[in-house]
């Protein structure tokens, strides 16, 4: 009895394994397209900034709009009117809260920020004088070999931090457009946001309908992955930054430190930067307390350390960890590389881009593995059926 040919299907046609090009052609083309679009968007970042802001706001507000829309009477009979009414409610609530915030807090905040900016040179000189005084006392009381080691460490650390900060600042300034164009761009954000909320489904369906079915499926899935990561990341960062800014303000306010509101705002804004944002945000507070009341330095440092501890060990693992699922080493490496290449924008969006790239790779690898496994299973089934057909039938045994 001859062995059946396992490379031949029941139809007599060979079933060769797909080539490497066939396996990775579609994932490669989609990846190249995504990278190309990302590069194009980056080169025109100043012009499309209103579009990016509108997209982020649309992702944050659409769940609220959808919730209001589905709970309005007549939603199914008049869906367009329900959508417009829901958007109107969101806009009214937003502008009402904004007006209330401006009325209650805007004037004190503006006054304190203006006062802080006007006194920044004096505060810096005063902080420098305090530091020099402490340095002289340190030199009198500490052995010279220890002084040399400490100075070398401070010099290297300061060079790294200062160089990174200067690099980020230079690259950011090089990418920022004029103030007039930014203001004009921000004016159109509410209008862009309105149409994105109103026609969200139509915009998505129109884009996918222009693509072949298979490409449209993969594009929809990839954009869904990116949507999930970015939405979770933005929400996590906003919550984290709000807690950091509020915690710093509360601590400094209780210590009666000057410019507590401004320092809290700075800490909150810098808190948008993963991991190192809270650390960088402590520098202005330390300089202010050195210039105004050095006796409170330890308490101010303790406030920032407590806020940083809470942010790193309680907030980040629960909120940001779920959003990104990246190891801190990967996050810090990404921040360094992205800041060197893209400046401040690299710091803000580099980490979620890495998370998106990871998820896209995992998606296509899973798709390829599933297809390959399905193909192998089909071949095994075909081979089994061929073998069964080729095997001689067993004679039936009659029983009396």
- The full set of domain ranges for the chain reads 212-371
Render the burial of 191-216: b for 16+ CB within 10 Å, e for the rest. Answer: ebbbebbbebeeeeeeeeeeeeeeee
Q: Which long-range contacts (CB under 8 A, 24 or more apart) does 373-380 make?
A: 375/15, 375/17, 375/18, 378/15, 379/6, 379/9, 379/15
pLDDT in tens, 83-122: 899 899 999 998 888 787 777 666 666 676 777 777 777 7
pLDDT in tens, 35-85: 776 666 666 666 677 777 787 788 778 888 888 888 888 778 888 888 899
Calculate mean pLDDT across residues 297-311. Answer: 88
Confidence class for position 341, pLDDT limits 50, 70, 90 = confident
pLDDT in tens, 31-44: 677 677 666 666 66
Confidence class for position 249, pLDDT limits 50, 70, 90 = very high
Mean confidence (pLDDT) of the chain: 73
Residue 75: both structure tokens together: 């939603």
Does position 368 have pLDDT exceeding 70, yes or no?
Answer: yes
0.85 exceeded by the pTM?
Answer: no
**In whole angstroms, what is the distance from residue 174 CA to residue 162 CA?**
18
């Amino acid at each position: 009895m001859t062995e059946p040919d396992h490379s031949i299907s029941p139809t007599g046609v060979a079933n060769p394994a797909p080539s490497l090009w066939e396996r990775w052609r579609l994932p490669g083309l989609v990846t190249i397209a995504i990278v190309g679009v990302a590069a194009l968007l980056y080169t025109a970042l100043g012009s499309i900034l209103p579009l990016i802001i509108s997209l982020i706001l649309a992702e944050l507000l659409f769940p609220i709009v959808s919730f209001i829309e589905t709970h309005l009477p007549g939603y199914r009979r008049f869906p367009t009117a329900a959508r417009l009414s829901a958007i109107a409610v969101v806009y009214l609530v937003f502008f009402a809260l904004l007006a209330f915030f401006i009325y209650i807090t805007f004037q004190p905040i503006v006054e304190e920020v203006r006062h802080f900016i006007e006194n920044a040179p004096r505060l810096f000189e005063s902080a420098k004088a305090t530091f020099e005084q402490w340095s002289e006392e340190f030199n009198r009381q500490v052995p010279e070999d220890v002084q040399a080691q400490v100075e070398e460490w401070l010099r290297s650390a300061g060079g790294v931090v200062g160089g990174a900060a200067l690099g980020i600042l230079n690259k950011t300034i090089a990418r920022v457009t004029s103030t007039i164009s930014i203001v004009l761009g921000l004016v159109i954000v509410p209008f862009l946001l309105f149409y994105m909320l109103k026609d969200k489904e139509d915009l998505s369906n129109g884009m996918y309908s222009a693509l072949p079915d298979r490409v449209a499926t993969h594009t929809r899935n990839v954009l869904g992955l990116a949507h999930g990561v970015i939405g979770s990341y933005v929400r996590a960062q906003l919550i984290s930054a709000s807690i950091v800014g509020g915690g710093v303000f509360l601590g400094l306010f209780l210590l009666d430190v000057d410019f507590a509101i401004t320092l809290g705002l700075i800490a909150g804004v810098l808190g948008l930067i993963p991991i190192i944002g809270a650390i960088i945000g402590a520098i202005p507070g330390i300089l202010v307390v050195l210039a105004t009341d050095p006796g409170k330095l330890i308490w101010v440092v303790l406030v920032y350390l407590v806020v940083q501890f809470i942010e790193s060990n309680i907030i980040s693992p629960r909120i940001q960890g779920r959003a990104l699922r990246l190891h801190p080493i990967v996050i810090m490496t990404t921040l360094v590389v992205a800041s060197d290449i893209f400046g401040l924008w690299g710091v803000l969006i580099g980490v979620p881009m890495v998370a998106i790239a990871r998820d896209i790779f995992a998606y296509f690898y899973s798709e390829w593995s599933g297809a390959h496994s399905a193909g192998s299973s089909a071949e095994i089934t075909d081979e089994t059926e061929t073998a069964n057909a080729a095997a001689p039938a067993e004679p039936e045994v009659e029983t009396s």
